[in-house]
């Protein structure tokens, strides 16, 4: 009985400590979500006036071909960027888990892109791919003659998506690398020694020891990357505003061109609702949490 009472007291104390943070975070999430849902039923003007329109924003949105185009663009962006950052982060973590000279220095250098300001990184990439003065064209066009002169990868709608995916992969893979590396370092080395004695090679060790041990961390990083990239705006808009992902579509509906903040609110709420369903399904079926 004493142990049970003591445990309950500890639980109450723990909830008392985290309650303020839970309340603050709940307010910060709940208030804008409820307000956004409320605004989605109004025609919202910049002067603050509102006219109730019912479900018109949702029906107009679902009949807008630009909305569906932004969904497809977002899907391509998510598929490429999440896959790229996950594979690059996993490969880098496996390499950095080995002993070699100056490993600590290399580990530090790898995470620098993640902490560098986005705007400076975007301007750097724009300079790299500049069709006139960029180093990309200088190397691949003038020196190696692999592409036509004055190739503008960022200005071409057919290629700019691949530049954006490459940029996002490079900029944000360090967080995936750090999370996976921290888990790799906790794996008991005796597991590999026993598997090697039994005749298992590197491939078998990776498939039957490393991958199961890092599965939860790997799945969690993929989930976080999907959430972050789904809402990513600044990188896309700064690098190439012509890429119309959902976040860019919502921004332009709310603040650019023909301003329709009610329609933008409807699009944002649908995105939140569907993302929530997908996240819950992923947690239950993939992470089994």
Q: What is the mean pLDDT of residues 237-243?
A: 86
Instruction: Give tens-digit pLDDT for 98-155.
Output: 888 888 889 889 998 898 888 889 999 988 988 888 888 888 888 888 888 878 888 8
pLDDT of residue 1: 45
Taking the CA atoms of 76, 82, 88 and 90 in sequence, report the sign of the dihedral they define.
negative
User: 43 pairs with which residues across the strands?
Assistant: 51
Q: What is the mean pLDDT of residues 245-259?
A: 86
Q: What is the mean pLDDT of residues 50-70?
A: 91
Q: Are 68 and 5 within one domain? A: no
Q: Are 249 and 184 within one domain? A: yes
Q: What is the pTM of this model?
A: 0.87
CB 102, CB 95: distance < 8 Å: no
CB 33, CB 265: distance < 8 Å: no
DSSP state of 43: E
Tell me how far apart the alpha carbons of residues 70 and 48 are, in angstroms, rounded to a whole number: 28
Mean pLDDT of the chain: 87
CB 266, CB 58: distance < 8 Å: yes
Q: What angle do CA 70, 45, 234 make, to 5 degrees?
A: 40
pLDDT of residue 245: 93
pLDDT higher than 80, residue 4:
no
Q: Are 74 and 206 within one domain? A: yes
Whichever domain contains 136, its CATH number is 1.10.3720.10
Question: Given the structure tokens 């650019």, which residue do they identify?
Answer: 256
pLDDT of residue 83: 95
Among 11-15, 162-166, 201-205, 233-237, the minimum mean pLDDT is found in 11-15
pLDDT of residue 71: 94
Closest CA to 88 of 1, 230, 218: 218
Percent of the chain with pLDDT over 90: 38
Q: Are 69 and 188 within one domain? A: yes
pLDDT of residue 172: 93
Using left for φ > 0, alpha for ψ between -120 and 50, and beta otherwise, residue 246 falls in alpha
Residues 6+ apart with CB under 8 A from 228: 172
CB 173, CB 226: distance < 8 Å: no
> In the chain, how many domains are there?
2
Instruction: Give tens-digit pLDDT for 272-286.
Output: 998 889 888 888 877
Q: Which residue has the higher pLDDT, 6 or 283?
A: 283
Q: Are 212 and 107 within one domain? A: yes
Q: Are 224 and 152 within one domain? A: yes
Range of the domain at 28: 1-32
Question: Given the structure tokens 């009610």, which residue do they identify?
Answer: 262
**Alpha-carbon distances of 54 from 60, 221, 224, rounded to whole Å:** 11, 39, 34
* pLDDT interval class at 3 (50, 70, 90): very low
Tell me how far apart the alpha carbons of residues 18 and 13 are, in angstroms, rounded to a whole number: 9
pLDDT of residue 178: 93
Q: Are 123 and 55 within one domain? A: yes
Q: What is the mean pLDDT of residues 69-94?
A: 95
* pLDDT interval class at 248 (50, 70, 90): very high
CB 187, CB 146: distance < 8 Å: no
């Amino acid at each position: 009985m004493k142990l049970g009472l003591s445990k309950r007291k500890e639980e109450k104390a723990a909830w008392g400590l985290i309650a303020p943070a839970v309340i603050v975070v709940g307010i910060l999430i709940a208030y804008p979500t409820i307000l956004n849902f409320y605004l989605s039923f109004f025609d919202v003007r910049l002067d603050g006036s509102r006219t109730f329109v019912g479900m018109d924003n949702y029906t107009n949105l679902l009949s807008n071909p630009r909305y569906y185009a932004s969904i497809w663009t977002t899907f391509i962006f998510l598929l490429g960027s999440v896959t790229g950052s996950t594979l690059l982060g996993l490969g880098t973590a496996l390499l950095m888990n080995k002993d070699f000279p100056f490993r600590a220095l290399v580990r530090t250098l790898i995470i620098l892109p993640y902490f560098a300001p986005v705007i400076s990184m975007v301007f750097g990439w724009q300079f790299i791919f500049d069709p006139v003065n960029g180093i990309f064209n200088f190397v691949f066009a003038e020196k190696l003659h692999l592409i036509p002169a004055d190739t503008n990868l960022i200005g071409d709608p057919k290629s700019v998506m691949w530049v954006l995916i490459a940029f996002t992969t490079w900029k944000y893979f360090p967080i995936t690398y750090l999370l996976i590396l921290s888990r790799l370092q906790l794996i008991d080395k005796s597991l590999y020694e026993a598997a090697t004695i039994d005749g298992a090679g590197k491939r078998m060790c990776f498939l039957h020891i490393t991958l199961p041990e890092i599965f939860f961390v790997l799945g969690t990083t993929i989930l976080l990357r999907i959430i972050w990239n789904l809402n990513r705006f600044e990188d896309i808009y700064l690098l190439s505003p012509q890429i119309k992902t959902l976040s860019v579509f919502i921004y332009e509906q709310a603040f650019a061109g023909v301003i329709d903040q009610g329609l933008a609110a409807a699009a944002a709420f649908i995105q939140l609702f569907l993302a929530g369903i997908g996240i819950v399904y992923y947690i239950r079926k993939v992470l089994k949490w």
